[in-house]
Amino acid sequence: MAVSPIYGITPFSLLDYKDYTSCIIWFARCNMKCLYCYNPEIVFGKGVYEYQYALDFLEKRKGLLDGVVLSGGECTVHTNFYQFVEDIKSKGFKVKIDTNGLRPFTIDRLITNDLVDFISLDFKTHKDDFYDLTGSQIFEQFERTLEILLESQILFEVRTTIHSELIRPRDFEKMLRFLEQKGYKQTYYLQPFRNGVGTVAELPPSVISDELKQMKSDDFEIIWRN
Ligand code: SF4
């Protein structure tokens, strides 16, 4: 029996898609298991809604919402995800996708067919630590997604969650050099790990050092989000 893809829907948000009123569709399951993941119940949980439930929800909100944020979990791993995005676009909504970048083919196809308006790409860490932090070996897939975004005209951002025990200044240095070498020129967003929330692994408190906070790139701006 097919497993339902959608864990839940946040009906209204002004924060997750800048300048647009949107809802957030949370997809169950993920192809990573990041140690600091805030959503273990989504990553390990079961979806309860089918695509049609979300499409019916959106049909009733035409003219009330500008956009739809597809988040999770990892939305791109689900069967028929492309068709689902096509159906959302046909209703006139803007689409933002939050992704860890492990499905470059899907992202490329959506961009090529003008089905996505904005992408937030999570840059978890540099290649050497990628498996330890995410449980995934395939850094190259993330790298390919970044290249696709850079080669396209799509609006996008790269962002990283920083836990001080998982990304130290020397790691962050490698990440900055990687982005520079790839030709990234846009704002790089950082979000400090929020202590005291449930995560995939038990972690010590995160304390971001001044050294890390002050690190810069000559090629792009770095902004910390709280
Ligand atoms: S933080 Fe990692 S494990 Fe959690 S949803 Fe995002 S990519 Fe998946």
pLDDT in tens, 118-151: 999 999 999 999 999 999 999 999 999 999 999 9
Kindly state if the Cβ of 39 falls inside 6 Å of ligand 1. Answer: yes
149-181 pLDDT, tens digit per residue, is 999 999 999 999 999 999 999 999 999 999 999
Work out which ligand 1 atom sits closest to the CA atom of 39. Answer: 4
Dist. CA 106 → ligand 1 center (Å): 18
- C-alpha 128/C-alpha 166 separation (Å) is 12
**136 C-alpha to center of ligand 1: Å?**
11
Fold of 6-224: TIM Barrel (3.20.20)
Model confidence band, residue 58 (pLDDT cutoffs 50, 70, 90): very high
Edge-to-edge strands, sheet with 188-192: 6-13, 22-27, 67-72, 94-99, 118-122, 155-162, 188-192, 222-224
**Domain range annotation of the chain:** 6-224
